[in-house]
């Protein structure tokens, strides 16, 4: 009985937490291909060590970072320009897309 209760509560929490997730992964994939892929790779696994890997990062972290580039709180002229063109919805979608990707571990 105790295991059944734990399973039920765990399932309910999982359902509630997944409903709070923002972002459309397919829309994020499209926007990422337009804006991010050249430096960070199509799936967020950057082909070069100079650019961070975005795949598998937490969506909230990616959203925060992009919003900071957009607002000027984080300084990088290239990223500021890229983030400036993104709407709030674009940022949520791109973050959801990269968060859904598998981060590959590669050596450079």
Task: Express each pLDDT in 30-55 by its tens digit.
Answer: 999 999 999 999 999 998 999 999 99
pLDDT tens figures, 6-27: 665 555 444 444 444 589 999 9
From the candidate CATH numbers 1.10.760.10, 1.10.287.1080, 1.20.1060.10, 1.10.10.10, the one assigned to the domain spanning 23-100: 1.10.760.10
Closest residue by Cα to residue 50 from 41, 58, 59: 41
C-alpha dihedral over 84, 89, 90, 93, to 10 degrees? Answer: 140
The tokens for 49 are: 């060590």
């Amino acid at each position: 009985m105790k295991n059944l209760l734990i399973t039920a509560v765990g399932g309910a929490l999982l359902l509630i937490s997944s409903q709070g997730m923002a972002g459309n992964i397919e829309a994020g994939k499209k926007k990422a291909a337009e804006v991010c892929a050249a430096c960070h790779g199509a799936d967020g696994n950057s082909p070069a060590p100079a650019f961070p890997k975005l795949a598998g990062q937490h969506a909230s972290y990616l959203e925060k970072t992009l919003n900071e580039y957009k607002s000027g709180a984080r300084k990088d002229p290239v990223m500021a320009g890229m983030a400036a063109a993104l709407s709030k919805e674009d940022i949520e979608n791109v973050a959801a897309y990269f968060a859904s990707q598998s981060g590959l571990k590669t050596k450079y």
